[in-house]
Each structure stands twice: as structure tokens, then as C-alpha cells.
Amino acid sequence: MAHEEYVAADGGWIRPEILSDPALYEMEKERVFGRSWLLLGHVSQLPEPGSFLRTFMGEESVIVTRDRSGAIGAFLNACRHRGFQVCQEDRGTAHRFQCRYHGWVYGSDGTLIGVPGEESIYYKEIDKRRWGLAPVAQVDIYKGLIFGNFDPDAPSLTEFLGDMAWYLDVMLDRREGGTELLGPHRWRIAANWKVIAENHCGDEYHIGFAHGSVFPPDLGPMRATPIPGAREIRPGLGHGLGVNIYPDEMKPEEWLNSGINSAPPHVVDYYVATHDEMVQRLGRQRAHMTLIHGAVWPNFGMVPIVNSLRIIQPRGPHEVEMWSYCLVDRDAPPGVKAWLVAQSAASFGPAGAFEQDDAGNWAAVTKTSAGNMARKIPLNLQMGLGHEERSDRFPGELGLTASEINQRGFYLRWAQDMFGSNAA
């Protein structure tokens, strides 16, 4: 089987060429980005009929619209005449998109509604019903997040998210009013998308080393010691995350005032004041949990501990465009939202203290993986292999922090999507 040349059957090693090979990247466009549910945006970005946003699915430009009836749809941003991009704006409000090349006009539901010269030069013979914008085959929403899938036969979004949804609720469903997505910041990184996604889904190991400049210099053995109460969790299906779990008797103000969580009094007060609502909505177990980092297969990364959500937009085998958003409770006071945005930008924005360390490392890994010799030499992902645990309190499999349980799940999902292996 071809996949066994690239990813070990137990996920314990990968060949670095999968991080740099142009032919594999071309396959990923169809087998990964052509068949997976990809994050498109958030309902808060489309507040009224006519609202639209422009994004990407893989490298393909897509428009997401709310039409006159209020329904959310997604379409390839490609005119059916010569393929020009009919939408040139990132976001806005419009019920009509007029192509700038020859002037065909489309409605917010994708239908072709106007063709210059329809009578005089097309002899009224063009069947406009057949030449609307190509719809993205499936669009669905999970608690405010809008996803699209090019594959009409792909399993439902619910099935795709699986047990990951139970954890996503911790950030998406704290409050009745739901959430709001602010941003994005966008910047380029000279790295393969998988190097970045696997870091988001499972790499706690690097934190004490790569981010040493952000932490106290005397971490010493703490750098590689499992953190009590924190776990890596593999919900399956290629998704992964790390969580902090607080004892029942601990009060939210205690964990809100520790580590990089520490927040000013008005932010702590907000979370303390809304804690009971969270307990009511999600139960004590999830209300006593914070998500640290995570990724939804394939390229939806997150650092929820600083409210950062990111779409890792691939731009060839050796480059990505990072789209980094801040997710906030919609009904949080403006002062709380403002602090959260500033915190997420200062840590994981384009000049963020953490992001700067990470981007350099991801680019270095990608560069090495393209070496004629180095690309064939396996890389080790064995940390915690065979020591995965189950718990009746948490869906999925658990590893220590640190463990490479999630990176193995990520690359096994890659092998499954690319080569149909059942190893995942």
C-alpha cells in the first residue's frame, strides 16, 4: 500500500516528503480539500439578507452569501462566462454581483440574472437557469460556524465532526447569545499546511522550548513534565485538542488568574458572572474545562486559550496564508471583547510573541522536508504511543501533555483520505 511508504501503520513515523512534495499536494487538492468539511466563516459575518464574504476552500475562491430569504449558501467565485472572479471584495452587502469582465450579473442565491446583450447578440437564446454560479455541494452550520464541502456524497457535518463537537461547545456554546467572529488578520508563512495544522492539534511538547522566550527562564525540568490536570485528547477522525481540566471544587476565578490565562479584573468578572450560565448549558464537567489548542481536520486550527481561531489556507506545498480570527461571546461587554482581541493579536497575531516563534519553526521544517536526501528519512512521532487511555468522562482517547497522540491521528487521517487506508 502506497500509504505505508509515507505514514507508519501505527502513526509512529512519517516521511517528510509528505510535507513538501508537489505531486502529493496536487492530490490533496482533490482528496483532502475536495472532500472535507472546510471552515468558511461564522453567521455573525452575515448579519442580514445580502451579506456576503469571500474566502477559500483549499486554493479555490468561494463566496458565502445570505440570500433574500435569509438562507446561507456558498458558490465558486468564478463567472460562468470566462471564469473571472465575480466578487472582488472580502465582505459586504450586495444582492447582485456583476462580473467586471463582460458584465454578467448574479444574484445572492447564485442565479444568473443579467447578461448584457441578451437580446441583441445572444438572440435571447441563452438559458440563464443553466448558467448560475456553481454551488458548493454541501453547506452546513455548527453553532455559528459555517462549513462547506465540495463533495455531494461526503458524510454530514455532524458525522465529520464526531466527538470533536462535544469539545467545541466549550467555546461555541457558553452562552445563549452564541459567539461572534472578529477579524481576520492575514499573513503568509513559508510552510506546508500540515506542519502548522499538526502543531495546532497536538504539539504541547514545543511550548517550553520554542516559546522559551515568553516563559520564565527557569522552567528547567518543567519543560517536559506532564502538566497535572491537562490532557491531550484525540476525539478521532483526524481532529485533536489539548485541554485543562479543573477540579469540581475549584472556582473559575482561580483558573482565570493563572498562566497565560491571566486577565484584568473586568474580564475575570465577566467570566465569573457568566459561569453559572455555562454550567447550566454544558454541565459542570465542560464548564470546568478550558480548551488550550486544537484543530479540526484538515486546516481549521485554534488556540482557544487566547480565543484565536485560524484557517490555514494552503498556497502550494510550501506556503500558507494564515487567517486568524478572535472568537468572542456575542453578548460580552465591548471592553471585554476589546481586551480579548488585543490578547489574541499579541500572542498569535502576525507579530504575536508565540506566532513569531512558531512561524520560523514551521518554515524550517518545511524547508528541510524538501531536501533530496532528508525527505526520505523518517521523522519520529512515537511519544506516548501505546499509552493512550480512555475515560468515561471524556469522549475519545487521552494522552499526557505532552503526547503525540493527536499528530498520529492527524497523519493517519491524511493517509486514509489520500490512499484509502483503514489505518486511522
Contact in structure between 326 and 307 (CB atoms under 8 Å): yes
Reduced 3-state DSSP string for 17-67: HHHCCHHHHHHHHHHCCCCCCEEEEEHHHCCCCCEEEEEEECCEEEEEEEC
> Taking CB under 6 A as the rule, does residue 81 contact ligand FES?
yes
Backbone φ, ψ for residue 268 (5° rounding): -60, -45
> Taking CB under 6 A as the rule, does residue 82 contact ligand FES?
yes
Binding mask 354-373 for Fe ion (x = CB under 5 A): ----x---------------
d(CA 314, CA 54): 16
- Size of site (CB under 5 A) for Fe ion: 1
Q: Which residue, chain included where needed, has cell 520564565? A: 216
Residue in the shown chain whose Cβ atom is closest to Fe ion: 358
Q: Nearest 10 degrees: CA dihedral of 142, 143, 145, 149?
A: 10
Helix axes 405-419, 22-31, angle to 10 degrees: 80
Question: Which of 7, 38, 63, 99 is in the footprint of ligand FES by CB under 6 A?
Answer: 99
Q: Which does 82 bind (CB under 5 to 8 A by kind): ligand FES, Fe ion, none?
A: ligand FES
Element (H, E) at 224: none
Residue type, 219: L
> Taking CB under 6 A as the rule, does residue 103 contact ligand FES?
yes
**In the complex with Fe ion, which residue's Cβ is closer, 150 or 354?**
354
**Coil, helix or strand at residue 172:** helix
Element (H, E) at 98: strand 96-98
89-106 residues labelled b (16+ CB within 10 A) or e (exposed) = eeeeebeebbbeeeebbb
**In the complex with ligand FES, which residue's Cβ is closer, 85 or 368?**
85
> Taking CB under 6 A as the rule, does residue 101 contact ligand FES?
yes
> Taking CB under 6 A as the rule, does residue 84 contact ligand FES?
yes
189-203 residues labelled b (16+ CB within 10 A) or e (exposed) = bbbbbbbbbbbbbbb
- Size of site (CB under 6 A) for ligand FES: 9
Q: Which does 358 bind (CB under 5 to 8 A by kind): ligand FES, Fe ion, none?
A: Fe ion
CB of 72 to ligand FES, least distance (A): 24
Binders of ligand FES in range 288-347 (CB under 6 A)? none
CB of 68 to ligand FES, least distance (A): 22
> Within 13 Å of residue 267, how many CA atoms lie on the same side as its CB?
20
> Judged by CB under 6 A, which stretch of 65-73, 75-83, 199-207, 317-325 contacts ligand FES?
75-83
**In the complex with Fe ion, which residue's Cβ is closer, 131 or 187?**
187
Binders of ligand FES in range 104-133 (CB under 6 A)? 104
> Judged by CB under 6 A, which stretch of 25-33, 76-84, 311-319, 368-376 contacts ligand FES?
76-84
Binders of Fe ion in range 303-362 (CB under 5 A)? 358
Grid coordinates given for 360:
520560523
* Contacts to ligand FES by CB under 6 A: 79, 81-82, 84, 99, 101-104
